[in-house]
Amino acid sequence: MRSLFAAILAISASTSVLPATASSINEPSSRDSAKHLSTLSTPLKVKGNDQYTFAQRSVNISKQIPNDTIGIVFLNLDRSAWKDLEQVQLNAQNPILAIDKLLAFLGKPSQFSIANDVQPWLGSEIAIAFLANTDNKTDISFAALSPVIDDRKFELFIRKLKKLELPKPTETLYQNIKILEWQLEETDDLKPEIPKKQTVSRDMRSLARIKQSQTSNANKLAQKKDADPNSEELDRIQPNFSAFSLKRFVIAKLPSGIAVIATDRQAIQKMIDLSVIDAQGQMSSLADNQLFLRSLNNPLWNRSLLAGYGDYKKLGQISELLAADLPETSEIPGFSRDEYLQGLKYTLSQYSSFDLFTWITPKGVRSQSSSYFSEIRSPQPKDTKSRDRLLSYLPSKIYGSITSRDLNRQWQWFVEESKQQPSYKIFVEGLRMLAPLIAGSGLDIDIEKDIISWIDGEYSVVVFPSDRSPFKEIGVDLTIGSLIRTSKPEAANAVLDKLTKYATSFGKDFIQVKKRQVGTTLMTSLEFPDARERGKTQSIFAYGWRDRQTLILTLGASTASAFIPIPKPSLAESEDFREAIADMPQPNFGYFYLNVNAIAKLGANFFLSELIPSPDLPPNSDSPNTLSKPKLPEPVQKFINQLGGAVFVYSETNDRFQSDAFLGLKP
């Protein structure tokens, strides 16, 4: 379990701020943010029927949870929160019932049913809390909480559990509250015994050192095998792959009427203490936490199907857990234990807490996540450069695109940040390692100095379908194009000239450079001889200037016609794209857009044509065309048709770094 959640938390801590650093170079201001925080964390006030809102119901549960909680996720089961799904003709059924149907579909045993045994007593919200383990500081315990709306059915649920083929539960009383504990595994048997003479290597350490030690290890094993044929199994290095497994689960019903299912008995005891002792004000709960209240007071909480909160500082307290499976030294830059901890501590020092909201709109599914800075930062200088101009130059029929601005500035920040965040070194040093390799091949190009340095305006990369794709003959009708705005066209032309001269050095029998006119733009095309027809060539890469500051790069010269002249309709005019970005924050760092509908259709067609075996031809058939092609099941086809576009956007204000996402759904 430790390795699984170490990976999850490591990713959360290290990557949730990655895009933020790609654009924010401002240092935190010296202003005290306590006053600002207090205005955002005012205790929730209940008016009229507001006690039934998702936020207030979340408060009621959070009063049962210790203040030192690492993080918590609330799931809103109230049917009214899911009603917008009905506008796109999707069944707004209770997610608990959906899980039960999924388990039935997967063929899980029907001895226990979530729909029949859990749903009848379950309240309209569930909370899953991530808690520091009381006994073992290098592990995490989990607790699921929900109000009990029917005591009798809850008791039937407990009786049903006792009748299952599980070890007999241990029953204890704590503060006059009954606690049932099922021990599923013997803790002493979880770790395999390793001979003391043999040191167990960590997974990544073994991988990093295997090259330099494989010869000596082989010789040692051979010598040991000759001495003792049975010693090979004893001395074999066993990597520490810790599989997720549930050792125990504990159930109790708190005095407040909230049921708790946890992986640790001490966690439930702390919750009971909160219910019994907190009446005297001696203990604080999550509901007293200002950082949590800041998230809870966000208007998005009441709209959400899923709302979450996490504390970076509490996460830092288990940093040893996150680094437990990393090697002490590593040949991979930034991946040693000390470097990882250095980067983690730096990240935790920059951020205080984070939250997550997911809700349904009439147009689709919307999500927003924020990481809050530890201190209020100085306002960013106003960006006066043009924004989103390239969106009008991109075709509407695409599979996906990335649009952003000033790659040079982003890269310079990344280089500086890698000094504080060692895990970024793998990207910085990895790119720099390419320079001597490229130079060794005879191409005198430094990626940092000769390419990234002049990408100081908007840039975009697009994957789109084209019947002129250079890969058409192998059955692939997609290609890639890029538009780059730069204030240094001379520098761009210099590196393009180097590339062209390098290509011609291989001789005309291998590659040729030709000029191709596409609309009003003259493209320089690198072309290979076409083996199918003598004297004919096939363009594989081309470049040209759409205007004095906009460079076009495409795979295949003729595919540039998708950008020239201005496409009608353009991506900016596409209904799916406009719906996806309609309520995204402005300004932002750019758009990562996916045409989910087109991608799903492409994947489905590939599945039907490549993965499903063709049926045998009938005896009297003269052509395979007489056979009908396999078709997708109608429900699958209907679901694909309902998919729209998806977009991911990053932005920043003086108090947070924010990521937003949207998936369009059609009626």
Task: Give the DSSP per-residue string, 308-330.
Answer: EEEEHHHHHTTHHHHHTTS-SS-
Examine the domain organization and report whether 447 and 543 are in the same domain. Answer: no
Task: Give the DSSP per-residue string, 403-426.
Answer: EEE-HHHHHHHHHHHTTT-GGGHH
Examine the domain organization and report whether 266 and 140 are in the same domain. Answer: yes
- Residues 369-412 have pLDDT tens digits of 999 999 998 877 776 666 789 999 999 999 999 999 999 999 99
Tell me which residue range forms the domain holding 448. Answer: 408-453
Mean pLDDT of the region 479-496: 97
In a domain, 231, yes or no: no
Per the structure, the count of domains in the chain is 3
Examine the domain organization and report whether 425 and 537 are in the same domain. Answer: no
In a domain, 402, yes or no: no
Averaged confidence pLDDT in the chain:
80
In a domain, 207, yes or no: no
In a domain, 223, yes or no: no
Examine the domain organization and report whether 412 and 557 are in the same domain. Answer: no
Which pair of tokens denotes residue 365? 């599914």
Examine the domain organization and report whether 424 and 494 are in the same domain. Answer: no
Examine the domain organization and report whether 468 and 540 are in the same domain. Answer: yes
Examine the domain organization and report whether 298 and 430 are in the same domain. Answer: no
In a domain, 585, yes or no: no
Examine the domain organization and report whether 438 and 459 are in the same domain. Answer: no
Q: Which of 564, 579, 612 is the last residue of a domain?
A: 564
- Which of the residue ranges 136-150, 254-268, 567-581 would you say has the lowest mean pLDDT? 136-150
In a domain, 385, yes or no: no
Question: Dihedral, CA atoms, 201, 202, 204, 208, nearest 10 degrees?
Answer: -20
332 contact partners, CB below 8 Å, separation of at least 6: 204, 208, 426
Examine the domain organization and report whether 434 and 473 are in the same domain. Answer: no
**pLDDT at res. 56:** 94
Mean pLDDT of the region 276-283: 68
In a domain, 119, yes or no: yes
- Quote the CA–CA distance of 284 and 278 in Å, as a whole number: 7
Place of tokens 């009748």: 163
**pLDDT at res. 332:** 80
- Quote the CA–CA distance of 550 and 567 in Å, as a whole number: 15
Examine the domain organization and report whether 169 and 274 are in the same domain. Answer: yes
Helix (H) or strand (E) holding 542: strand 537-547
Q: Which of 453, 483, 508 is the last residue of a domain?
A: 453
Q: Which of 564, 581, 607 is the last residue of a domain?
A: 564
pLDDT above 60 for 220? no
Beta bridge partners, 502, equal none
Examine the domain organization and report whether 418 and 557 are in the same domain. Answer: no
Examine the domain organization and report whether 423 and 560 are in the same domain. Answer: no
**pLDDT at res. 609:** 73
In a domain, 216, yes or no: no
